[in-house]
């Protein structure tokens, strides 16, 4: 049986949300039990996981919020291009 999976990417907040069930069924969230990240799992009323939020998805060189903060601190108002070199 095929399921619809929804993925929402927020480059400013540096997060990605993945939903494999209707987001409206989410009733509570818990942080993952990991010392390396603070991702969040969303659960339904019955305790079934329905979604995942990955926090800090991008590395620093692609983190839009950090780049915008750095640019605003330097006083530069010229447009700039976010780019990265990577190979798949």
DSSP bridge partners of 8: 17
- The per-residue pLDDT for 10 is 85
Tell me the pLDDT tens digit for each residue of 43-87: 999 999 999 999 988 777 777 777 777 665 556 555 555 555 555
CATH class of the structural domain 6-74 = alpha beta
pLDDT digit string (tens) for 3-38?
789 999 888 788 899 999 999 999 999 999 888 888
Token digits of residue 12: 């400013």
Residue showing tokens 């942080």: 31
CB atoms within 10 A of CB 50: 20
Task: Report CA 6 to chain centroid distance, whole Å.
Answer: 13
Residue 80 burial (10 A CB sphere; 0-12, 13-18, 19+): exposed
**pTM for this predicted structure:** 0.66
Q: In the 8-state DSSP scheme, what is residue 55?
A: E
> What local confidence, expressed as pLDDT, does residue 35 receive?
84
């Amino acid at each position: 049986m095929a399921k619809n999976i929804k993925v929402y990417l927020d480059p400013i907040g540096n997060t990605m949300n993945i939903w494999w069930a209707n987001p409206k069924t989410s009733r509570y969230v818990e942080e993952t039990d990991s010392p390396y990240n603070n991702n969040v799992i969303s659960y339904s009323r019955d305790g079934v996981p329905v979604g995942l939020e990955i926090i800090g998805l991008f590395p620093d060189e692609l983190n839009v919020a950090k780049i915008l903060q750095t640019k605003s601190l330097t006083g530069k108002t010229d447009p700039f291009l976010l780019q990265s070199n990577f190979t798949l």
